[in-house]
Structure 1
Amino acid sequence: MQKTLSEEKYKEVRSYFAKLTRAIVPKALVIAVISGIYLFHISFGSFPENYDFSSFQILLSLKAILGLWLGFRGILQVFFGIQPFVFKGHRLPFILVILIIFLSQIMYSI
């Protein structure tokens, strides 16, 4: 995009996307975390003694932990201005989102 637009137009488009992201992301983070916690509770509930997890539940719990970490990290950043102490860049969260997508595909095939 930067190669095809003039410098002035590029800054204008970039600021538009930044404003749009700031308006949408906070609400989406809260909804994602709350619905994730609810779905985690519904999927697992209470466990009797000597209960073995199915492979689906193991993958679901891994996805839930990754998703909750991403959601709480985002909520802390957006609403409270708390920057993460570790992994300050966007590379790790992006990799975790890709990993969650792959885990979803594996769960679909089980």
Structure 2
Amino acid sequence: MKRSYSEEEHAAIRESFMKYVRKVVPPSLIVAVLTGLYLISQVYGPIGPDGLTWFQSLLSLKAFLGIWLGLRGGLQVYFKIQPFVFKSHVLPFAFVITIIFLSQFMYLPV
């Protein structure tokens, strides 16, 4: 997109897009975390005498990553608390990709 527009036009377009992102993402984060917490309470199931199943283990990992992402996002947006250590968007993006891949492996028979 930078090649098609001048620097000023690109900045204006980007800011216009970000205005809508800032309105949509925070409520979406809260809905995602709350529905995720509800669903994990419904799907997790009892822990058997042999310990956690493969499904429960991956679901726990996904829940931890999702809660971390939701808390980080909520603290940034609503309380203006910036992360101290991981300031870039690389780690959250990596967590989202990890959650997607874990979803693909959850139902494999082990």
Common fold by TM > 0.5: yes
Q: Distance in 2 between matches of 1:8 and 1:106?
A: 45
TM-score where L is the length of structure 2:
0.89
Aligned to 1:56: 55
Matched, 1:79 2:91: no
Q: CA deviation at 1:52?
A: 2.2
Aligned to 2:18: 18
Unaligned runs of 5+ in 2: none
**Runs ≥4 in structure 1, deviation > 4 angstroms?**
45-48
Q: Distance in 2 between matches of 1:38 and 1:93?
A: 22
Aligned to 2:4: 4
Aligned to 2:100: 101
Residues 76, 83 of structure 2: 8 Å contact kept: yes
Provide the aligned length of Structure 1 versus Structure 2: 109
The structure richer in helix per residue is 1
Calculate percent identity across the aligned residue pairs: 52
Q: Distance in 2 between matches of 1:5 and 1:101?
A: 34
Q: CA RMSD in A?
A: 1.6
- Residue aligned with 1:87, SS: coil
Tell me which amino acid in the other structure corresponds to 1:93.
P
Tell me which amino acid in the other structure corresponds to 2:30.
V
Matched, 1:41 2:41: yes
- Residue aligned with 1:52, SS: coil
TM-score where L is the length of structure 1:
0.89
